Amino acid sequence: MNFWLFVIDNLGWFGTTRFTKPIGEALNKDLYSIILCGGRGERLWPYSRENCPKQFIKFRGDDSLLEQTINRSKLISEHIWLLSEQKNENLLQNLKKSVVEKVIFEPEGRNTAAAILLGCLRLEKINPNSIVVFLPSDHFISDHKCFAIKISQAVEEVKRTQKICLIGMKPKSASTRFGYLEADDLGEKSFSVTKFHEKPDLLTAEKYLQDNNKFWNLGIFVGFVSSFINEFKQHAPKVYNEVSVFINTGDSATYKDVANISFDHAIAEKSNNIIMLKSDFEWSDVGNLEAFLSLNNKNNSSKLIEFNSKNNLVDSNKLVVLLGVSDLCIVEQDDTLVIAKRDQVEDVKRVVHVMKEKYKENLR
């Protein structure tokens, strides 16, 4: 494979991240990055709101998670596409004027299977021989260079095997937040994925932590656009037909008929053409309040007083006094105060669903 030499500065984003091309050749003209940025981020409420989902929130500086993802993508491809829901069009206006080559809108979110197929069918019309990298827009990866090298390796494996390549990570903890990949060794470079596991309970996650063949599924997919389309035709023909109707007619109403199913369930779990590379970069999906606060280096110690308290994460503009409490996440945002046990922050999503009818103004 070709190893790259990068020079990165911290002056900002979109045009301020400088990089050299692979030594001796240009960027792969047939490689496209499609960033999936239509999620609602309900587990990160009250930071994430309906009018500003978590991928648009500034994170550890002046850049949003989406902006950081675009920066990483520019290190691997000259073609950066965004795929989002129509309701996010205003939030994406400024991005369209930057290095983003194309923005694709779904009339409404129908999960990752529909989104990935929509991106592939649009791309096929432009470059049927292309390789595409699908990237979530809400992940935090601090080492952009290491990420870019790993994606370059995945592209080489796709060319060699003609399969769809996922990125997996050896579990760092017994996490119940992620789906898991079970893999068998194919050789020195990649692994075959033999099974997908749903988010486990704690006892199962602890067992996975000890297994050598279980990996967190990072939700990154690399493959020839033709490979993705062929997999849909074989394993999810209904989804293929429904998305094709929308593309052929342009009728937004027809998109509501598309099955609401993930790419993992619709395709990856059924396919024999899935391989995996092990990641070697630091990664977080910033999926809940605990992750957000921990990675953002909260607490605000100048306004926090604790007695007989430990392991609390606090983000508030007010003076906060904690007496005899531990393992809490405390978040104050405008009109909202959330206090949650650190091991129960996943239930924020359930709270959001309950509140949608009661207090809609709190969710906007």
- pLDDT tens, 17-65? 333 344 224 457 889 999 999 877 788 888 888 888 888 888 887 788 9
In a domain, residue 7? The reply is no
Residues 189 and 266 in one domain: yes
In a domain, residue 204? The reply is yes
In a domain, residue 355? The reply is yes
Residues 355 and 218 in one domain: no
Residues 94 and 182 in one domain: yes
pLDDT digits (tens, 9 = 90+) for 301-328: 557 889 999 999 998 888 899 999 999 9
In a domain, residue 26? The reply is no
What per-residue confidence (pLDDT) applies to 91?
Answer: 86
Beta bridge partner(s), residue 133: 33, 222
What per-residue confidence (pLDDT) applies to 2?
Answer: 41
In a domain, residue 102? The reply is yes
Q: Which residues of 186-240 form beta strands (DSSP E)?
A: 191-197, 214-224
Give dist(CA 254, CA 45) in Å, integer: 31
Residues 340 and 269 in one domain: no
Residue that terminates a domain, selected from 239, 258, 278 = 278
Residue that terminates a domain, selected from 249, 278, 307 = 278
What per-residue confidence (pLDDT) applies to 324?
Answer: 96
- Record the tokens describing residue 17, joined without a space: 């991240």
Residue 17, C-beta contacts closer than 8 angstroms, at least 6 positions apart: 8, 9, 71, 74, 75, 144
What per-residue confidence (pLDDT) applies to 356?
Answer: 76
In a domain, residue 21? The reply is no
Residues 270 and 305 in one domain: no
In a domain, residue 108? The reply is yes
Residue that terminates a domain, selected from 232, 250, 278 = 278
The CATH number assigned to the domain holding 52 equals 3.90.550.10
Cβ neighbour number for residue 266 with a 10 Å cutoff: 24
Residues 183 and 61 in one domain: yes
Residues 248 and 296 in one domain: no
For residue 43, report the phi and psi dihedrals to the nearest 5 degrees.
-70, -10
- Record the tokens describing residue 58, joined without a space: 């500034």
What per-residue confidence (pLDDT) applies to 136?
Answer: 93
pLDDT digits (tens, 9 = 90+) for 137-151: 988 998 899 999 999
Residues 352 and 231 in one domain: no
Residues 309 and 226 in one domain: no
Pairing of strands 164-169, 274-278: parallel
What per-residue confidence (pLDDT) applies to 364?
Answer: 63
* Residue 222 and residue 165 in contact, taking contact as beta carbons nearer than 8 Å: yes
What per-residue confidence (pLDDT) applies to 135?
Answer: 96
User: ∠ CA 246-247-248 to the nearest 5 degrees?
Assistant: 95
Q: How many CA atoms lie within 13 A of 342 on its CB side?
A: 15
Residues 213 and 349 in one domain: no
Q: Say what angle helices 225-235 and 111-126 make with each other, to 10 degrees.
A: 130
Residues 258 and 294 in one domain: no
Domain count, the chain: 2
H/E element, 181: strand 180-185
Range of the domain at 348: 289-363
In a domain, residue 20? The reply is no
For the ranges 159-168, 178-187, 217-226, 342-351, the lowest mean pLDDT is seen at 178-187
Dmax of the chain from CA atoms? 64
What per-residue confidence (pLDDT) applies to 13?
Answer: 32
Residues 246 and 324 in one domain: no
pLDDT digits (tens, 9 = 90+) for 224-242: 999 999 999 999 999 999 9
